[in-house]
Amino acid sequence: MKYIFVLLILFSCGLKKEEKKELQFFQVQKSDFTHVINKSETPRNPDLTAVKTLSNRDYPIDIAIFNDGRFYYDLPNLDDGYGTWEFVDGKIKLHAKRDLFDINIDVVALKESAEVIAIDFRDRFSRKVLEVEKINIDN
């Protein structure tokens, strides 16, 4: 009976933790991301149901990247706004200035062709790497 009790304590203390799967990022060409970039300039009030959008509903965040070097973001728990983007070292780097904090997000390829995409960023708690759903985007 003692042994069962000790085993229960050991397992409840986390000796048998699941290992986190380490994602592999691929450096791709800028042309590999063209399918997620809207060909138009950034509209004043983007309709995310009508433009190409990267979305993670669990976090939640929506991002629409436009051809003029700008992007629009919507963080339903905080606010929305605009920022700029550039292609550097095989990924799209997003940056936006806010009153309380700056937004810095890398859009990264999880497959060599960038058909599977994630966003990599730090929030106030920790680093996040979230696979995104592509809305209005054909591969």
Residue ranges of domains in the chain, CATH in brackets: 26-135 (2.40.128)
The string of pLDDT tens digits covering residues 13-51 is 544 444 456 789 999 999 999 999 999 999 999 999 999
pLDDT at 54: 98
> Which of 60, 80, 84, 56 has the alpha carbon at shortest distance from 71?
84
Q: What is the mean pLDDT of the chain?
A: 88
Burial class of residue 59 (count of CB atoms within 10 Å of its CB; 0-12, 13-18, 19+): middle
3-state helix, strand, coil in the chain (%, to 5): 15, 40, 45
pLDDT at 4: 52
Distance CA 134, CA 19 (A): 28
What is the number of alpha carbons within 13 Å of residue 2 lying toward its C-beta?
A: 0
Distance CA 72, CA 64 (A): 5
Query: Residue 60 has which token pair?
Result: 């939640």
- Provide the pLDDT confidence category of residue 8 given band limits of 50, 70 and 90: very low
Q: What is the pTM of this model?
A: 0.83
pLDDT, average across residues 87-93: 97
